[in-house]
Structure 1
């Protein structure tokens, strides 16, 4: 069993009018194994008492006092307290995605956060700092419990009564200050670097040099796929043609769904319904492929497809499934066309080519290799 105490730092808003001076949102979990749980509770009480007296230890109360903050962090990590932080760069999230709504932003990121935690343990009990109105906390508690079935329990708890949540608050606020450029990396003591795991989201785009030297096929695939999709959307959005706007909206929807869950395929009907709701367009699955995806693919957008739907590829497996599906559909047609062509060529002493280069330049090129 692992006991996890969670707090966050930063605003869960994408909208400019709600944003404060920071571009990052940080969720921090203080993680205690069952055999160390009680000792971690005692240590956290000592740290809070030492640095806040009878009050509450909070990052916002430490403020600009960097030396005090550094000493508090040193005391935290000297007690062998382990922390996991998810650092969200809000600038890299699409402003018109579903995450622009505060409840969606909060629920999505915390679901991803807890899914990441549960991957490291079969049993987890979570105590999260109270957030928002009681109705929201109640609905979120039900939501996160149903979404993350491997959590042994989840509940909101008051930070004043829970010192380990106060520790999570300090670590989250300190990491956000580093990412926002207020403090430098030296804020984290050397011993803390071995007890602090940081994951960034969305993953940083790979540079061209990284792509050329990378041995990670999945990294190359998703970096190029995301880059090409975003370039295509920008290109389509510059046009006033309704068809171009429709294409942009469809690919933007794939990008948004990639944001939400990069491994999941999206049913074609779901995309059709989305386009109907946003633009009034009425399409069927065949038209979605011929009018939208065909143009996007001709413009270098990589879209993986399967019987379960379509998606921006996240890994080599996504493309292998698509290639296997393409081979199973296209190869038999080409083989049969090649056989028919050869029969006519043989029967006519090669005088009649039903797939001549002049009539079918692309098809004849493929058939020559059969």
Structure 2
């Protein structure tokens, strides 16, 4: 029997749109802690031990620790090796207001419930969603009711996708902790400790969804070479917009390879926001793609069925011996060209040498590039000879 995938949900932030009020958050965070059923009990016990070590009471709300960075750091270090994954949404309320005119709490919550459920149902075939149904916050209450309405259980009162009877206050609280920690990146009083916290959390993040989609989100705090600022902005805009166009086109697909491609693009977008200059190693990408799947994707199929197919369809993906990324500048594209040339040129030279040997041996009666499908390759090799 397949291991049940739980998603323990919580939220962080407020629903207000009065950004002249310094207490109004600019972003709203929704986070799920993903846990396999086989790991759930052990994980709860380990987290309980960690919290009892640092807290004298049972109040584990994020408000108890958000202003104690040293304590939060100690706890995150201990959580780092535990068997859990993080799936989160960072919603830019200022962009929501600017793009759609939404300023009313109920409209905002409705927007979130529809979009979060659609995203989850497109990502997971089976998911047990867990939230605080005793005293839920407003979004979680609306989301809980909406999922119950849309995801009809079977005769045994079980739904393969939706809310079920599983409970875990400690994991729901942990989801709030992670949401609050990630919110430090977007808080008006940006925490100087965020990067330290983020580096600890990053290996466990399988998805960071940034809403609404806008390439300008990825220019935030990005320092470009002033000499190439115009070209670099064109490159990042093209890379991100084509990525989102692909996601929008295939987000409802049932094809497993297309789902993998969409998830890969989303992971590159997440990495672009957090570390625009850094490549992501293949193994880290595979760890994230495989974390939410029953059958693991191997490196060969990843390169041939995922990366190559995306490039065939025009997406800009830079690569080097350090991994993959979405390009943000000309240097990233040169990395891709340089890496490709290390393979392309030697292969062309080998084909040319093989061809020459056969031409000489047959007195030019047999040309292995004579077939129509090799016409382009033949022209390339002949042009090289002219030089």
Task: Indicate how the Cα distance of structure 1 residues 110 and 41 shifts in structure 2: closer, same or farther if over 3 A, else same.
Answer: farther
Cα separation, 1, equivalents of 2:85 and 2:50 = 15
Is 1:51 matched up with 2:54?
yes
CA contact 1:59–1:169 (8 Å) conserved in 2: yes
User: TM-score under structure 2 normalisation?
Assistant: 0.49
- Note the C-alpha offset of 1:185: 3.2
The separation in 2 between residues aligned to 1:114 and 1:78, in whole angstroms, is 29
**1:65-214 matches, cutoff 5 A:** 65-94=68-97, 97=100, 99-130=102-133, 140-147=143-150, 152-154=161-163, 162-180=169-187, 181-188=190-197, 190-196=199-205, 197-206=207-216, 209=231, 212-213=234-235
- Give the structure 1 partner of residue 43 of structure 2: 40
TM-score of the two chains, using structure 1 as the length reference: 0.51
Structure possessing the higher radius of gyration over alpha carbons: 1
Q: Give the number of equivalent residue pairs.
A: 228
Unaligned runs of 5+ in 1: 224-258, 265-315, 317-370
Query: Residue deviations 1:2-37, cap 9 Å, x none?
Result: 111111111022234777243111111000122222
1:129 to 1:18, Cα distance in 2 relative to 1, 3 A: farther
| CA pair 39-115 structure 1, distance change in 2 beyond 3 A | farther
Unaligned runs of 5+ in 2: 153-158, 220-229, 253-312, 314-387
Distance 1:13-1:96 versus aligned 2 partners, 3 A rule:
farther
The one-character-per-residue Cα deviations of 1:164-185 (angstroms, maximum 9, x if unpaired) are 0111111111111222112443
| Distance in 2 (alpha carbons) for counterparts of 1:186 and 1:136 | 28
Residues in 1 aligned to 2:231 and 2:166: alpha-carbon distance in whole angstroms: 47
Q: How does 1:1-370 map onto structure 2 within 5 Å?
A: 1-16=4-19, 20-94=23-97, 97=100, 99-130=102-133, 140-147=143-150, 152-154=161-163, 162-180=169-187, 181-188=190-197, 190-196=199-205, 197-206=207-216, 209=231, 212-213=234-235, 219=241
RMSD: 4.0
